[in-house]
Each structure stands twice: as C-alpha cells, then as structure tokens.
Copies of this chain bind each other. A is one copy, B any other.
Amino acid sequence: MATSLSGKAAAHDDLTKPTRGLDVRIGRIPIRHLSPIEAEGRWSAKAYVGEVVPFAATIFREGHDSLGARLHLTRPGGATSIHQMHSGAAGTDRWHADARIDEIGEWSWKVEAYSDDWATWLHNAEIKIPAGIDVELMFAMAVTLVRRSGSAKIYAEAAAAFADTSLSPAARMAVALDPRLVKAIAAKPISSLSTMSETVSLRVERELAGFGNWYEFFPRSEGAKRAKDGAWVSGTFRTAAKRIPAVAEMGFNVLYLPPIHPIGTSFRKGPNNTLVAGPGDPGSPWAIGSADGGHDAIHPDLGTVKDFSYFLGVVKKNGIEVALDLALQCSPDHPWVTAHPEWFTTLPDGTIAYAENPPKKYQDIYPVNFDNDPEGIYAEVLRVVRYWISLGVTIFRVDNPHTKPLQFWEWLLAEIATDRPDVIFLAEAFTRPAMMQSLAAAGFQQSYSYFTWRNTKLELETYLTEISHETSATFRPNFFVNTPDILTEYLQFGGLPAYKIRAAIAATGSPLWGMYAGYELIENVARPGAEENIDNEKFEYKLRDWAKAERSGATLAPYVRRLNEIRAQHPSLAQLRNTEVHWSDDDSIIVYSKVLAQQFSPTGTSDGIIVVANLDPHSVRETTVHLDLEKLGLAPASQFTVTDLITDQVFTWGSDNYVRLDAFTEPVHILRIDYPKGS
C-alpha cells in the first residue's frame, strides 16, 4: 500500500512536478468506518470473554472489479488470526466478519482489502465464454492468474487445462469451477493492491462484565428479628449467609449488597422516607459514616471484617460474587467531615453544604467535592476501593456516578484496571443519554438502563435494537426488573403476569439482568404517589417468609430459576449484539430472537431463541408472528420445530406462525429453535 505518492521538491518549476510531498489519507482500496469503535476514537471499544464480536468496515473501490477483505485480529499476547470477511447488505459496501473473543486484555484489529483478481475474471468469464466472446483471451488470463498462485500441482494442472485448446470451452470453464480449485483459491486469494486499514483496539473484559445474573438483598434484613421487647435485632453477615444457597438455587451469580458501612445518625431518615427517625430505625445505608467509621468500615450491626470474610466465603462456595455499593457521599457524622473538610463544600456561613434540590433538602447527606483537593480525594477513594478488593471484593455497584466528575471515574477505573482488570464496576446512572453513554465509554463495565421504563412494544423494540446494535461498542445495559428505588406502574398494576413478562424479557433481552429481593414475591404495593415500594427497605428492616412463600407456591422463584437455567443452557442469550426484532400483527405482542451461529456454538448446531411476549398483562391475545428466517440462519421457506422452554410444548413453525398467549397462564413463549444437525 502506497500512502506517500510523491516525496518530491517543495516548489514546482514546470506543470508536471508535484508541489510537495503529500501523504494521502486513504489507501489504494478505501477502508472506512471500522466497527466496533468508540465513536470519537477517544476510548477503546469493548467486548467480554465469550462474546462473538461483529467486526465490520465500509470497503469499496473504483470501477466494477471485485474486491475481498480479511480481518486481522491480534490477541493481547501478539498472536494474530486472519478471518475472511463477507459483504453485507446490497448497496452498503459493508464487509463483515464475526469472531469469538476468549481472552481478557487489549486486543487490536485491522482490515485488509484487496483486489480479488480471480473473482473479477470469473465474473467476466462466466458471461463471456458461454457467449463465445474473447474465449482464448479469457483462458490466457486465467493461466496468468493461477500461475500467480505458485507452482503447486493444483494450479499447474488448472493452467494446463485452461491452455488446452483441444478441450471444449465448457470443459475448460469447468476446471475454473472445480471445487478443489475453488477451495485452494478461497484459502489463498489471487489478489493485488492489498491495502491495510489503521489498527484499532478492543478492550476485552471477563465474561461476568457482560453476562451475569444479579440479585440484590439487604443483609440486615436477612435474619433480622424482633426481640422480646419488640425492638429490632439486625440481621448480620452470619444470618444473611443462610439466604445465599436460595439465591444460588435461583441461578444468580452476583449478589449486590447496599452499602455495608456505618450509618449516620444526624438527620437520619425514618420509615417511608420521613424526616424523623425513631430510636430503633436503622437509617438508610446510603447515609454513610458515623463514629464507627466511614467507607472503609463495616456497620457493627452486620459484624466484623471476619464476618464479612465468612460471608464472602459462603458466597464463593455457592458460585456467586459479591458486588459492593460504592456511594461517594457522607452523612454529617462521617470521619472525613472533620478530618478532611476540604473534600466537601464549605458555605459562606462556615457550614458544610448538604445535598439539596431546592426547595428540597437532604440534610442527612453531604456530597463530596472533587475539585478542592482532587489529589487528596482521588487517592482516598482509590485507597477505599483497593481495601475492599484486598478483602476479596471484585465487583462494585457505583451509586449515582453521574453526580461526580466523569474525569474522576475515568481515572479511578483505569487505575484499578491496571493491576486488577477483573474488577467490574456497574454504573447506577439514571440520567440523560450523553452522560450514561460517556460513563460506559470512559470505563464502566456495566450500566443500569432505561429498561424499567420501556414497557410498550415500540419502546421495547426500539430499546432492544439500540442496546444491541447502536450503543454496544461500549455500553452494556443491566436489565434490572426492579430496585429499592423503582417499582414501575406496569408492575404496580399488572399483577403476576406483569412480573413474569418483565422477568422473561429482562432475562432474554440482555445478557445482564438483575432483580431486587421481593420481586419473586410480587411485592407490588407502592408508597402512594411514589414509584417505589411502600415501607421501603431502604429505611427499615424487612421480613420475608421465604419458606412459607415456597410452601404455598406464592413465589416466582421457580420461574426465575427456569429463566436462569435457560440462560445457562443457551449461549445465544449470553450475547449482547445479536438481538433481532421480528414482526407480529398485534400491537402488544413483541417478537425477537437471539442466535449464535453454528461455528461459535458449543453444541454442534446453531443456538437460537425466539421470544414472543404478550406485553398486555390483562389479556389473552392471538396473532400471527412473521419471522425473518435469514436472521435466524434458516433458509427461505424453512419449516422447523420450536420448543417452548417454559411449557415444553413443541410447534412446527415457518416464516408465518399463529400464536396465542394468555397473560394469566404463560404470557411469554421462550422458544428454542430446533436446528437440524449441520446448521
């Protein structure tokens, strides 16, 4: 590839001399718009281990001759693999190659384009030779071309046949289409004008960064009880540990704990967010810090460091990792307030500014100021995070990252990744797209998402397409179905069907999904006028009689367990970028699929799931579902069977299929495509 076409004198004395050495910015065969890439090239695009990444580029050339393209993919250790690319939708000039990513670290890739001289010849020969046009000339060109491939027997024999005028033109043409020659040329194209793109990076994180099942509980509630005097006795890490096997049994592999630190007493909030707490009220875990310590301390009610380590051990034994909350805010009683007032904002009256959204005041919370002493507060947060990592914590759920400088997160997450690239940060940012997308691009491995507020068919179709195709270079949404802060109207008023529908879509629509304890018990009563549960666990202990719920069948736990089993058994659901929306004739029935092609599937055939969900939790609906068979990797007009993984029903399907979904029995089909062997 020539990128410098003239390096000549800087002045020209006649009309032919270039005026200057000029580096052109495009190669001989233009290669543009590589993907996945972070839009500004400011940060790396990202992937996670196990992900099949759709690499693509826009490649085109002058005139009508053929071109080909290859992906050169380099692992962190430096080994490079080469993947043939194929052209995509007509008219787009997009070329594609999918590759499975299987190692943490900084990968890099580039695209090679070349003039596919054999394909050009073949295209012309297949028209001209049967028409008797330039027959000998075409075969002479074929001889020249195959000789460029070397002296191997297959080429020598082909050259001899092309040159053999005693054979009929048809017989000589047949040589060009001989599968052995076709295969040899496919493996080693007869090419020229090879052009390389720039090299771009791909940051690969571990599988749990992109594929995981989250569960949230408050450890103080698990095992909490009332003493004889009626006063609450907090649950502890020891009592909470007893709940872990049940969480594992449901198939979750991340357990997120709200802050476990000492809680301030100044302006402590009472039940239902009231301004005055009673003596027995435990306060919000997000009002961090007291005389017992701050962000590096454990609430005495929960236990000691030793108890926490015991808890981590039980968690680990159950195949789960703990996610700690990283909430960078302080109660007025936090040790930082006196030791480092410069980490807060001091007002002209000498007081420290509490959080407010005028006229609302949040006097139990002091926001951290990151600008007065950035070196100091940055180093302290780094110390805190490293401390918990040193105890065995590998995941952090970051509270409200959008209220701290983006620059700070970029710095902190890069610092941690330097020696602990396995540590995962989930951004709890419910804010506008620019900030949410930028937090992801700047380093967060996962993000809370708008999923809870996407309930209609059009909303979900748009959002599923956005997360899989538009923002997936850096943004990985975690589809939480609820949180202590979010109980949507859809859940409040949709009954059991709504809970099933939302869980099924979360578990199949995103490789990351999450649930806050109580969802499985259909806890759907909101504090009046609010979008969150009444008697909220943020401000009080919450007793749940899990055993009784199980006995009576009043729990979705078996359904949730089945969802997580399906996720474990179907690697297509572990992928972010493979969601495709299909059509149904009913405006409440959504249809989407996720397919993992045979070459990447561990089962020997493609792995594919079709989800058909009735989004109206109050109705029985019948409609016709129209599938884009090509997106399922199936031939046009295919007939195939699908198996409902919830009910075990088997249906014979094609491109157009009758569906009936009763919200009061099973509102969602999760259908396995039964691919025949070899497809």
A54 sits at the interface (CB 8 A) = no
In A119-144, the 8 Å CB interface with B consists of: 123-124, 127-128, 131, 133, 136-137, 140-141, 143-144
- Would A359 and B406 be within 8 Å (CB), given that A63-B367, A382-B18, A387-B15 are in contact? no
A197 CB, nearest partner CB in chain B, Å: 11
Q: Which residue of the partner chain, among B18, B140, B347, B390, contacts A137 with CB atoms under 8 Å?
A: B347
Contact A438 B26 (CB under 8 A): yes
A175 sits at the interface (CB 8 A) = no
A86 sits at the interface (CB 8 A) = no
- Expressed in whole angstroms, the Cα–Cα distance for A124 and B345 within the complex equals 16
A148 CB, nearest partner CB in chain B, Å: 13
Contact B91 A432 (CB under 8 A): yes
Contact B405 A62 (CB under 8 A): yes
Of A35-43, A73-81, A478-486, A589-597, the segment with at least 4 beta carbons within 8 Å of chain B is A35-43
- Expressed in whole angstroms, the Cα–Cα distance for A126 and B319 within the complex equals 54
Residue of B nearest to A2 (CB): B374
| Chain B residues, CB < 8 A from A123 | 358
Q: Produce 1/0 per residue, A367-411, CB < 8 A to B.
A: 100010011001110110011001000000000001111110011
In A322-359, the 8 Å CB interface with B consists of: 347-349, 356-359
| Chain B residues, CB < 8 A from A25 | 42-43, 410, 442
Of A267-275, A414-422, A504-512, the segment with at least 4 beta carbons within 8 Å of chain B is A414-422
Residue of B nearest to A58 (CB): B434
- Would A435 and B16 be within 8 Å (CB), given that A40-B33, A124-B358, A407-B24 are in contact? no
A186 sits at the interface (CB 8 A) = no
Q: Which residue of the partner chain, among B26, B140, B348, contacts A406 with CB atoms under 8 Å?
A: B26
| Chain B residues, CB < 8 A from A371 | 28, 192-193
A5 sits at the interface (CB 8 A) = yes
Q: Which residue of the partner chain, among B32, B61, B348, B383, contacts A16 with CB atoms under 8 Å?
A: B383
Contact A15 B382 (CB under 8 A): yes
A165 sits at the interface (CB 8 A) = no
Contact A30 B411 (CB under 8 A): no
A183 sits at the interface (CB 8 A) = no
A326 CB, nearest partner CB in chain B, Å: 15
Contact A30 B124 (CB under 8 A): no
- Expressed in whole angstroms, the Cα–Cα distance for A124 and B359 within the complex equals 8
- Expressed in whole angstroms, the Cα–Cα distance for A89 and B387 within the complex equals 43
A22 sits at the interface (CB 8 A) = yes
Contact A378 B33 (CB under 8 A): no
A20 sits at the interface (CB 8 A) = yes
Residue of B nearest to A356 (CB): B124
Contact B43 A378 (CB under 8 A): no
A172 CB, nearest partner CB in chain B, Å: 15
Q: Which residue of the partner chain, among B17, B192, B414, B438, contacts A379 with CB atoms under 8 Å?
A: B17
Contact A133 B359 (CB under 8 A): yes
A66 sits at the interface (CB 8 A) = no
Contact A442 B26 (CB under 8 A): yes
| Chain B residues, CB < 8 A from A169 | none
Contact B374 A30 (CB under 8 A): no
Contact B348 A411 (CB under 8 A): no
Q: Produce 1/0 per residue, A631-655, CB < 8 A to B.
A: 0000000000000000000000000
A95 CB, nearest partner CB in chain B, Å: 11
| Chain B residues, CB < 8 A from A405 | 28, 61-62
- Expressed in whole angstroms, the Cα–Cα distance for A433 and B32 within the complex equals 12
Q: Produce 1/0 per residue, A28-67, CB < 8 A to B.
A: 1010110000011111000000000000001011111000
Q: Which residue of the partner chain, among B92, B141, B406, contacts A62 with CB atoms under 8 Å?
A: B406
Contact B16 A375 (CB under 8 A): no
- Expressed in whole angstroms, the Cα–Cα distance for A435 and B60 within the complex equals 7
A630 sits at the interface (CB 8 A) = no
Residue of B nearest to A30 (CB): B406
Contact B347 A390 (CB under 8 A): no
A599 sits at the interface (CB 8 A) = no
A495 sits at the interface (CB 8 A) = no
Contact A5 B62 (CB under 8 A): no
Q: Produce 1/0 per residue, A3-23, CB < 8 A to B.
A: 001100000001111111010
A230 CB, nearest partner CB in chain B, Å: 38
| Chain B residues, CB < 8 A from A62 | 402-406, 435
The 3 closest A-B pairs by CB, nearest first: A140-B348, A93-B434, A15-B386
Q: List 13 A-B contacts (CB under 8 A).
A: A5-B407, A6-B375, A16-B382, A24-B407, A30-B407, A33-B40, A60-B435, A63-B367, A63-B404, A92-B434, A123-B358, A137-B349, A144-B348
Beyond A32-B42, A131-B359, list 16 extra A-B contacts (CB 8 Å).
A16-B382, A18-B382, A26-B406, A26-B407, A26-B410, A28-B371, A41-B41, A58-B434, A60-B434, A63-B367, A92-B434, A123-B358, A124-B356, A137-B349, A141-B348, A144-B348
Chain A residues close to B by CB (< 8 Å): 2, 5-6, 14-20, 22, 24-28, 30, 32-33, 39-43, 58, 60-64, 91-93, 123-124, 127-128, 131, 133, 136-137, 140-141, 143-144, 192-193, 347-349, 356-359, 367, 371, 374-375, 378-380, 382-383, 386-387, 390, 402-407, 410-411, 414-415, 418-419, 432-435, 438, 442
